[in-house]
Amino acid sequence: MLTRPLTATPFDPVSASPDARLAVGRLLAACHAFAFPDDPPVLPEREAISLTHVTPNEAVQHVVVWAGEEALGWASLTYGLQENLHAAHARLLVHPEHRRRGLGRELSRALERIARAEGRRVVTFGTTSRVPAGEAFARTLGAQPALPMRQSELRLQEVPETLLDAWTARPADDPYRLHVWQRVPEEFLARTADMMMVMNTAPRGDLDVEDWTVTPEMIRAWEDMIAEAGEVRFLMAAEDTRSGELAGYTEVFWSPERAALVYQGATAVRPSARGQGLGKWLKAAMLRHIRAHCPGARFVRTNNAKTNAAMLGINVALGFTPWASFTEWQVRLD
């Protein structure tokens, strides 16, 4: 039992020793196992690698509560260096065996000091209903539930082939064609960055955040980080062959070491191209791609804003069912 107060101290994953990084990786893996006991476990070694990843034009600061060489709590604050200069995003985890001892409060105070020093007046973070204590802690911070989301899960083999056939059928003179990449070809890189910014049209609820820019450099950095973390990302894009513009996309993330579970990332179609069945086509074609290229995959999990009726409708029609709820919160630092 802990009998003395413990302090959150700065932690630089890049300059830290491999043993220190792995200690934090073990903490992250333990927290994941506690929150999602039925999921394939995450590997501490992979989690340790992910700590070193930083997107171009962003900065990340970490703090850790140590007891000797064991990491009992960890938190990070990520913030843009060129956009959304008023905001930052936080993550905070306390080891399941060391909760209710004030470590979460100690970590949150450390993040608040960093946010204020960096001139950030809004801090966002997420909680899942799978860990009810997270929501309770958010309310003690005076946080506002700004964007409620539904987490859904699909049993891959239960999707009817007739539905996939219907959604992937296209007219003979269809001007659109699909591409699927793990690494975006150079000739499509700028177009892919432009397409990804369609996600700026996704619902944000009451989140006080502005539009963001995606650059080719960011895409290449993400690809390198995904590969280093041992994941596979499939990105499927619909190209308008009349103009060469990419009209929509969907992406999934899969790890051979956690083969049963696939994470659905973003899906978006340009407003000018909506109403032509591109979203259904992309989603159905991706499910078939998963079946063919992700051996052992059994489930697909995704998040949707509860106000995103169009995407929720597509997912429900495919057979996604509620799995949990996820909330994006924000705290205003007045």
Give the pTM: 0.94
CATH superfamily, domain 152-325, is Gcn5-related N-acetyltransferase (GNAT) (3.40.630.30)
The pLDDT assigned to 4 comes to 59
Q: In CATH, which of 3.30.2320.30, 3.40.630.30, 3.90.226.10, 3.40.309.10 is domain 8-120?
A: 3.40.630.30
| Start and end residues for every CATH 3.40.630.30 domain found in the chain | 8-120, 152-325
The pLDDT assigned to 1 comes to 44
Q: How many degrees, rounded to 5, is the angle at CA 224 between CA 221 and CA 226?
A: 105
CA-based nearest residue to 334, from 112, 180, 25, 18: 112
Predicted confidence pLDDT, tens digits, the chain (334 residues): 445 578 999 999 999 999 999 999 999 999 999 999 999 999 999 999 999 999 999 999 999 999 999 999 999 999 999 999 999 999 999 999 999 999 999 999 999 999 999 999 999 999 999 999 999 999 999 999 999 999 999 999 999 999 999 999 999 999 999 999 999 999 999 999 999 999 999 999 999 999 999 999 999 999 999 999 999 999 999 999 999 999 999 999 999 999 999 999 999 999 999 999 999 999 999 999 999 999 999 999 999 999 999 999 999 999 999 999 999 999 999 8
Contact in structure between 221 and 56 (CB atoms under 8 Å): yes
Backbone φ and ψ for 139, nearest 5 degrees, come out as -70, -30
Sheet holding 58-67, edge to edge: 8-11, 58-67, 70-80, 87-94, 122-128, 321-332, 144-155, 299-305, 261-269, 246-254, 232-240, 176-181
Task: Tell me the H-state helices in 203-243.
Answer: 216-228
